[in-house]
């Protein structure tokens, strides 16, 4: 039977091999046509922002051209991008949403 010390050593060696998953920023890009209120709804609906946080991010995108909505593992980031783009197109808005490795 392994001693307590050996167990701890093995656990430590195992733990150091497991890297955290790469994370991806999901970003909105500015355009001249999507209504500001629609962007605020997107940030609330898909990124769980309250109205104040959503307004701040929307205005940053409007003024600076892009803004980060959240940071997620790859699959979740890709799903957010798909959902946002599908929702925007359903409402005939050209809103662009992209992801980029952190
Ligand atoms: N620029 C848009 C407007 O003036 C608002 C907007 C903000 C659009 C953020 C896209 O990601 C965006 N109606």
Structure-token pair, residue 99 = 């992801």
The finding on whether 28 has its CB within 6 A of some atom of ligand 1 is: yes
Residue 20 CA to residue 100 CA, distance in Å, equals 17
Task: Give CA separation, 83 vs 64, 97, 100, in Å.
Answer: 23, 10, 16
Q: Which of 15-19, 23-27, 58-62 has the lowest mean pLDDT?
A: 15-19
Ligand 1 pocket, residue 42 CB under 6 Å: no
CB of 95 within 6 A of ligand 1: the answer is: yes
Centroid of ligand 1 to alpha carbon of 29 (angstroms): 8
Considering the chain, what is the average pLDDT of its residues?
90
Query: 26 CA distance to ligand 1 centroid (A)?
Result: 16
Predicted model pTM: 0.85
Q: Both tokens of residue 31?
A: 């355009």
**Which residues in 22-50 are b (16+ Cβ under 10 Å) and which e?**
eebbbbbebeeebeeebbbbbbeebbebe
* pLDDT tens track for 25-58: 999 999 999 999 999 999 999 999 999 999 999 9
Residue of higher predicted confidence among 2 and 88: 88
């Amino acid at each position: 039977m392994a001693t307590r010390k050996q167990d701890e050593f093995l656990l430590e060696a195992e733990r150091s091999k497991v890297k955290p998953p790469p994370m991806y920023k999901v970003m909105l890009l500015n355009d001249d046509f999507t209504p500001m209120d629609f962007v605020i709804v997107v940030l609330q609906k898909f990124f769980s922002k309250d109205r104040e946080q959503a307004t701040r991010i929307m205005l940053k995108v409007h003024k600076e051209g892009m803004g980060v909505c959240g940071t997620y593992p790859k699959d979740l980031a890709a799903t957010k991008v798909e959902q946002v783009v599908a929702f925007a197109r359903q409402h005939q808005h050209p809103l662009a949403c992209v992801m980029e490795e952190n």
